[in-house]
A = this chain, B = another copy of it.
Amino acid sequence: MLENLFSSRVKLDGKSRLVGLFPETHYIDNISFGGGAPEERLFPVAELKEAYQAAVQKEGAHAFQYHDIRGPEYLRQFLLKRAKDLVGIKNVDDSQLMLTAGGQQGIELVAKMLLNKGDAMAVEAPTYVGALAAFDNYEPTYYNVSMQDDGADLEQFEQLLQVHPEIKLFYTVPDFHNPTGITMSIAKRKHLVELANKYDFIILEDTPYRDLRYLGQSLPSVKSFDTEGRVIFLSSFSKILTPAFRIGWLVASPVVVQALTKLKLAEDLEVPYLPSATIEYYLKNNDLDEHIQSLRDLYQGKMEEMTTALNRYLPGVKVSYPEGGFFLWLELDEGIDTTKLLWENSVPKEHLVYVPSENFYANRDCKNGMRINFTGPSYQQIDDGVKRLSRMLLETSKKEFFVKAV
């Protein structure tokens, strides 16, 4: 039994958070509300092809050689300026910036840097399933902080911290939270930093959707309130340009960047030149924010289409109304098991995919919710998919599940 040699972090029998998360359906009429994929039609294909050519042109054969762990200078300067101007991080300098293999590697490296087996950390409940997958492999003790309409319940969190001052990490998605779509209020962003200072923990602020706001005004980042270098601000090009190049970036204290860089070197040696330089040349010759605006326009329309459809076909169901991002969150009656529903009804009968709520809870202890994505499907699919969802929910639970909208 080779498995006997595996480390305790490998739980082959245990449910995996990411394996089998998205059912492979081969129905031609399949509709997916499952993934968190951008709208392909808006990828700037021609510009990215040009940028790639420019990157190869500039370096010639050297473009295909090993490069370093820092990434291209112009790209680093661009990100530092962005961190100052758009994220509100004052006094940021080069020693505080690091490029990662997508946001996912940033999360994984932070877990690797902080977590010994059994160490205490707190997460929003629910939270991003991929982050839980990354944390799982360092076997932390999880503590959950409930979500409220203005972000994590910080009163509950402080009570938790009083009982468990050993908590060393809090993971949050403050902008258009994955999966609920909720945005954390300014007051809570400030207070969260105060808690981190008072109870001595580090905040990982994950912001893949930050630039994709469709309603209201952008809020200062949690990092912008950081007074003791306790906040790690994590972002990525995956949702605002393309996920294809796996380029994420983070801003943190120099000592944190130094530790994370050392860990990254041992994982993959470098920031690959071609992907990072392709983005660099795209940024030199194109206006990223103009592109982001075109994403905002399309996604806002799709979000409205989906909320309209939900109101039409699922009146009274409890649904989130986010100001941006990729997802809506549905909360159904207690007793509804959306995982069971997915595999027994939604996929085989309705050819509809969504992500059941249990995947977003550290302890998988909430079964009656679901995350639905509106950026990937077409307008027609959004309307059609919500119809299917409504039909299924009506059939399978005879309306009993409906709760009053809030």
Enumerate chain A interface residues (CB-CB to B < 8 A): 2-3, 5-10, 12, 16-19, 35, 37-38, 40-41, 43, 45, 48-49, 52-53, 56, 60-66, 101-102, 104-105, 108, 112-117, 119, 130, 133-134, 136-138, 168-169, 200-202, 228-230, 238, 242-246, 253, 255-256, 258-259, 261-263, 265-269, 272-275
A-B CB contact pairs (8 Å), 15 listed: A2-B256, A5-B202, A8-B116, A9-B112, A10-B113, A37-B65, A45-B60, A45-B63, A48-B64, A65-B242, A104-B266, A105-B267, A105-B268, A116-B117, A272-B275
Interface contact A267-B65, CB-CB below 8 Å? no
| B-side contacts of A253, CB under 8 Å | 2
Interface contact B7-A112, CB-CB below 8 Å? yes
Interface contact A274-B245, CB-CB below 8 Å? yes
Interface contact A63-B244, CB-CB below 8 Å? yes
Which 8 A/B pairs are nearest by Cβ-Cβ distance?
A133-B266, A64-B242, A64-B244, A43-B64, A40-B61, A18-B265, A134-B266, A7-B116
Interface contact B37-A259, CB-CB below 8 Å? no
Interface contact A266-B114, CB-CB below 8 Å? no
Each complex incorporates copies of this chain amounting to: 2
Q: Which of B7, B38, B119 interacts with A113 by CB under 8 Å?
A: B7
Q: Which of B12, B66, B108 interacts with A37 by CB under 8 Å?
A: B66
A112-B9, A274-B244 given; A133·B40 CB < 8 A: no
Tell me the smallest distance from the CB of A203 to a CB of chain B, in Å.
Answer: 11
Tell me the smallest distance from the CB of A56 to a CB of chain B, in Å.
Answer: 6
Interface contact B45-A65, CB-CB below 8 Å? no
Q: Which of B7, B41, B48, B108 interacts with A119 by CB under 8 Å?
A: B7
| B-side contacts of A61, CB under 8 Å | 40-41, 43, 45
Tell me the smallest distance from the CB of A193 to a CB of chain B, in Å.
Answer: 14
Q: A8-B116, A108-B267 are in contact. List 6 more A-B contacts (CB 8 A).
A: A5-B200, A18-B266, A65-B243, A101-B267, A104-B269, A244-B273
